[in-house]
Structure 1
């Protein structure tokens, strides 16, 4: 039986811990495919295409531990709290999810216990074993066209109440002038997407960022390598600046 969460490079010595909540489109057999077509199960509705591959490349560059879900976000979205309807959505953009329609509270609670709780426990174990200098980075991808509207942004740097890492990264946006980079785009805190940052980083006082990468830029290994390089061009100097400020305080 496949575990609902995987922890990779747990002994990584880098400052960063990486999360990938939407790494997989796997739907365990007991959910009977959620009534979805094969095309829908492969679509961005079911996962974040390219996000896991990008996460692993960043992990190698940063020697960072990785915590990743191995279950489709349509079964349970690990970037949503159990009380949120979007944790088990009945619809994702234009795709209906028959297996999520009319779920009882008992069924919702069972999914949270089976998928969300182990994910959160794994994150807590990794973070609790490290010091307060740890930086949390969550990795996501988004569709280039949403409800028929093209999206120009290529790399989104998202934050909630703690913006210090994003502020520092944006200070170096001239390092990647070829990338359309924006703060809190194409989503932001008002969309409920910063749950993991709030739950796992804010309470611990950890600097953090949620990366959102347009998924048409993650289709090949060459594209993933280029995007990772550009992210590191922003992240590496930002990490150094934050460390200097922490030492001075």
Structure 2
């Protein structure tokens, strides 16, 4: 076994649902869980449980929303199964924020002295298996479109409250769906961010790798996490978003 090879006893780095569903949509959830594998610092990053339960460790509510949305769309879904603080699957391998040492005011002790070997170990056992499976599912439909599901916190520490219910993110390299989705969400009466609260393009991120690089229609949906903390909220917002997504893709003629 090579030094960085995946261990046969490793739990899967991802979960999938509905691979045989017929929709051209693929729903992804990069920041689905706050799991820390036991082989990473004994399964503990050295931060408080309260911090592991908030947005710095995963996208609160996003996994449940992604699952419910995929079911309503009749689409497959893939979600990571490791905390973004262990290694962030929505970053390129050369991104300096791939392995965070400080996030929203919280120091991550288990990452402070992580060296190149540790970074490679996490890439090989978590990040790369997730992206291999995402790539496989993306290629399984000849007209695949990708919808990435994330959530955002209502307020960062020391910052003003965020007004949006939903944010629609998209790259300047592909505006075929994003602006239309923004308009469609606003038509529902939702306060909707247009590439807010984050920029829609990050070199090497999941959309860049699996959608832009292959010419696949795409967008990223951010939902404010207080709206989707519960299963009821997740089902409600899946019900809101699914028909809008379907209409926007259909109207695009893509």
Task: Structure 2: give runs of 5+ residues left out of the alignment.
Answer: 1-9
**2-structure distance, mates of 1:195, 1:67:** 16
Which one has the bigger helix percentage? 1
Q: Is the 8 A contact 1:159 1:194 kept in 2?
A: no
Give the secondary structure class of the aligned counterpart of 1:7: strand
Aligned ranges 1:133-172 → 2 under 5 Å: 133-149=143-159, 150-160=161-171, 161-172=173-184
Kindly tell me: are residues 15 and 198 of structure 1, through their superposed partners in 2, closer, same or farther at Cα, counting changes over 3 Å? same
Deviates more, 1:49-58 or 1:212-221: 212-221
Q: Which residue of 2 aligns with 1:183?
A: 194
1:19 matched to 2:31? The reply is no
CA shift, 1:148, in A, is 2.5
CA shift, 1:162, in A, is 0.7
**2-structure distance, mates of 1:222, 1:38:** 24
| Length-normalised TM-score, structure 2 | 0.90
Q: Which residue of 1 aligns with 2:58?
A: 47
**2-structure distance, mates of 1:158, 1:139:** 10
Q: How many residues align?
A: 241
**2-structure distance, mates of 1:176, 1:230:** 9
Aligned ranges 1:73-112 → 2 under 5 Å: 73-112=84-123
Q: Is the 8 A contact 2:170 2:178 kept in 1?
A: yes
Deviates more, 1:72-81 or 1:144-153: 144-153
CA shift, 1:8, in A, is 1.3
Q: Is the 8 A contact 2:149 2:221 kept in 1?
A: yes
CA shift, 1:194, in A, is 7.4
**1-structure distance, mates of 2:188, 2:236:** 11
**2-structure distance, mates of 1:193, 1:232:** 28
What value does the CA root-mean-square deviation take over the aligned residues? Answer: 1.6
Please list the CA deviations of residues 44-64 of structure 1 after superposition, one character each: whole Å capped at 9, or x if unmatched. 111011000000110110111
CA shift, 1:174, in A, is 4.6
CA shift, 1:233, in A, is 4.0
Please list the CA deviations of residues 107-140 of structure 1 after superposition, one character each: whole Å capped at 9, or x if unmatched. 1111111111001100111122210x21101100
| Length-normalised TM-score, structure 1 | 0.92
CA shift, 1:84, in A, is 1.3
Q: Is the 8 A contact 1:169 1:234 kept in 2?
A: yes
Q: Is the 8 A contact 1:168 1:241 kept in 2?
A: no
Give the secondary structure class of the aligned counterpart of 1:30: coil
CA shift, 1:170, in A, is 2.6
Kindly tell me: are residues 223 and 103 of structure 1, through their superposed partners in 2, closer, same or farther at Cα, counting changes over 3 Å? same
Among residues 227, 241, 244, which one is paired with 2:251 in the alignment?
A: 241
Q: Is the 8 A contact 1:139 1:212 kept in 2?
A: yes
**2-structure distance, mates of 1:172, 1:193:** 27
**2-structure distance, mates of 1:86, 1:208:** 23
